[in-house]
Structure 1
Amino acid sequence: MPRLFTGLEIPQEIATDLSMMRGGIHGARWIDVENYHITLRFIGDIDAAAAHDVHQTLSQIRRKPFEVSLETLGFFGGDKPRAIVARAKPAAPLVELQAQQERLLRRIGIAPEPRKFVPHVTLARLRAASAMAVADYLSSRAFVFSKRFEASRFVLFSSRDSVGGGPYVVEAAYPLG
Structure 2
Amino acid sequence: MPRLFIALDLPEDVVASLDRLCEGLPGVRWSTSEQFHLTLRFIGEVDQGLFYEIGEHLAGVSHPPFEIGLKGLGQFPPRGAPHTLWVGVEDPSGALPTLRRRIERVLEEVGLEPERRKFTPHVTLGRFRSPPPEPRLASYLFHRNLFRTERFPVSSFGLYSSQLRSEGSRYTLEASYDFVAGVAERV
Interval containing the TM-score (normalised by the shorter chain): over 0.9
Task: Letter of the 2:57 partner, please give it.
Answer: T
From 123, 145, 150, give the equivalent of 1:147: 150
1:48-104 alpha-carbon deviations (Å, 9 max, x no partner):
110111011100011111101211111112211111111112442111001111122
Instruction: Give how far 1:142 is off.
Output: 3.5
Partner amino acid, structure 1, of 2:49: A
Q: How many Å apart are 1:162 and its aligned residue? A: 4.6
Is the CA contact (8 Å cut-off) linking 2:66 and 2:153 kept in structure 1? Answer: yes
Gaps of 5+ in 1: none
Identity value in percent: 36
Do residues 81 (structure 1) and 82 (structure 2) align? yes
Mapped to 2, the partners of 1:25 and 1:117 lie a distance apart of 27
Q: Which amino acid aligns with 1:108?
A: V
Partner of residue 185, structure 2: none
Per the normalisation by structure 2, the TM-score is 0.88
After superposition, where does 1:45-56 map in structure 2 within 5 Å?
Answer: 45-56=45-56
Question: Is contact 1:72-1:146 (8 Å) kept?
Answer: no
Residue identity matched to 1:116: K
Q: Does 1:157 align with 2:150?
A: no
One-letter amino acid of the counterpart of residue 117, structure 1: F
The equivalences for 1:1-177 within 5 A come to 1-77=1-77, 78-90=79-91, 91-130=93-132, 131-162=134-165, 165-177=168-180
Which amino acid is the alignment partner of residue 30 of structure 1?
W
Compared with structure 1, are the counterparts of its residues 158 and 115 closer, same or farther at alpha carbon in structure 2 (3 Å cutoff)? same
1:106-142: CA deviations, max 9, x gaps? 1211122121111110011112123432211111223
- SS of residue paired to 1:140: helix
Distance 1:24 1:144, change over 3 A: closer
Structure 1 residue 165, shift from structure 2 partner: 4.7
Q: Distance in 2 between matches of 1:102 and 1:156?
A: 13
Distance 1:34 1:121 in 2: 12
Q: Distance in 1 between matches of 2:2 and 2:33?
A: 22
1:53–1:108 contact (8 Å) kept in structure 2: yes
Deviates more, 1:118-127 or 1:69-78: 69-78
Structure 2, unmatched stretches of 5+, are 181-187
Residues 79 and 34 (structure 1), Cα distance of their counterparts in 2 relative to 1, 3 Å cut: same
Moved over 3 A (4+): 161-165
